[in-house]
Structure 1
Amino acid sequence: MQISDFPVPETPAARGALEMAQTYQSAAITAHALRSWLWAEAFARVDGIDDVDHELLYVAAVLHDIGTVAEYDNHTLSYEHAGGHVAVALTAGAGWPAPRRARVLEVIVRHNWPSVDRAMDAEGYLLEIATGLDISGARPEDLPESYRREVLAAHPRGALAAEFSACIADQAARKPDTAARRLHEAGIARKLAENPLARLG
């Protein structure tokens, strides 16, 4: 397994998602988004999930945290709902039909669920377990070490632990009824600091 096994979709929506991420997000958060996509694609392979909308998964992964940036932060909505609506707007511009735009919102929102039923939502399941690996260190041994090292070399973790911990703490304080509070109270700062991926690169 290697990065070249998972080509980036060559579509307007995919290009637009990456451009937005690179324009508005920090380098560390954008690298986290790209690693999350690569972990999700890898988990699809190891878990035997073949019926994946790869373009939708890429757009959702790249934009799943964009609701945390100042330009798109919503004063009442959770950051995952806010980011999901950014993805809806982007994909509307790219010509996606309404049901598929609704799906990108669902996938981004569900990445913050405690778990997602793969039979109900394959892409939501994949993004949830992928971000679980990148943030909390879940299931690292299910992916080859050589692949984990390659992904981390291509998209280093950098200041992710400090940046994302502070971001979630801020979101939890301002929007205590959202998933950010659960993540904060569950010790996301500690999980980021102790993530086994940090020892690989």
Structure 2
Amino acid sequence: MTNIAGINIPDSRLALEAQEILKEHGSDLLWNHSNRVYLFGAIQGKKAKKSFDAELLYVSALFHDLGLTKKFSSVDKRFEVDGANAARQFLALHHIDEQSIQLVWDAIALHTTIGIAEHKEHEVGLLYAGVGLDVMGDGYDDLTADERNAVLNAFPRDQFKQKILPAFFEGFKHKPETTFGNIKSDVCALFIPNYKPKNFCDCVLHSPWSE
């Protein structure tokens, strides 16, 4: 079992098959990012003395961005939900219990939702924390330089800052309306000229109610 920065990377049959799915349908960018997300989340969980199921957290990390890929992208759902649905199907095929499946589904579906995930089960909160650290640097100083370097040596960033936003957009440019009400709307605003997102206030004021 590979150990990086004091964290074991699961090598169960479930974990290895999840790895193969990401390798087949994802990219080097998503592979490295997803593994860093797991490690960063697990390191933060260990430091906070939180109990968590490493296998479920790892599968959640491997699937969390699969909704951006052609294989798993729907025409009308948020990419987070597409990834969560893919994980649900994968886990069901392996006869994982419903409670665990729901936990993984929630972790993936909520990984970009600010102010919610960190108040749910530890696996949900740690996936969110791992994503936040890798993408935006949230909690950067909570890890030592040695811990950060160990993770990056195993799973390099390779100009991640410059590559991840186009990768996000590529995953939902065919359905920008699905970013309404979430932070990925900012990605659409960056790449779509004169982008005007749907507005909640307009939805209220222009509803079909007469009063």
* TM-score grouping bracket, smaller chain normalisation: 0.7 to 0.9
- What's 1:140 paired with? 140
Is residue 44 of structure 1 aligned with residue 74 of structure 2? no
- Gaps of at least 5 residues in structure 2 are 191-211
Counterpart-to-counterpart distance in 2, 1:101 and 1:137:
28
Matched residues, number: 186
Structure 1 distance, partners of 2:119, 2:176, is 31
- Structure showing greater radius of gyration is 2
Classify the secondary structure of the residue corresponding to 2:184. helix
Note if contact 1:116-1:124 (Cα within 8 Å) is conserved in structure 2: no
Aligned letter for 1:81?
V
**1:13 and 2:36 correspond:** no
Find the counterpart in structure 2 of residue 156 from structure 1. Answer: 156
1:91-106 matches, within 5 Å, as 91-106=91-106
- Give the Å deviation of 1:117: 5.2
What do the CA deviations read for 1:120-171 (whole angstroms, capped 9, x no partner)? 2211111111111111111111001101011101100125334321132342
Paired residues for 1:1-201 under 5 Å: 3=4, 5-49=6-50, 51-116=51-116, 118-170=118-170, 171=172, 174-178=175-179, 179=182, 181-184=184-187
- Distance in 2 of aligned mates of 1:155 and 1:100: 27
**Higher-helix-fraction structure:** 1
Contact 1:28 1:159 in 2 (8 A): no
Task: Report if the CA contact (8 A) 1:115-1:128 is conserved.
Answer: no
Match of 1:196 in 2: none
Q: Which runs of 5 or more structure 1 residues have no equivalent in the other structure?
A: 188-201
Aligned amino acid, residue 84 of structure 1: A
Amino acid at match of 2:33: H
Query: CA 1:117–1:28 in structure 2 vs 1: closer, same or farther (change >3 Å)?
Result: closer
SS of equivalent to 2:96: coil
Q: Is the 8 A contact 1:172 1:181 kept in 2?
A: no
How far is 1:4 from its partner? Answer: 5.6
TM-score, normalised with respect to structure 2 = 0.80
State how far apart, in whole Å, the 2-side matches of 1:77 and 1:121 are: 24
| Identical aligned residues as a percent | 23
1:138/1:118 CA distance change after superposition, 3 Å: closer
For residues 68-88 of structure 1, what are the alpha-carbon distances to aligned partners after superposition, in whole Å with 9 as ceiling and x for unaligned?
011111111111110111111
How far 1:186 sits from its partner (Å)? 8.7
Distance 1:10 1:168, change over 3 A: closer
State how far apart, in whole Å, the 1-side matches of 2:69 and 2:183 are: 14
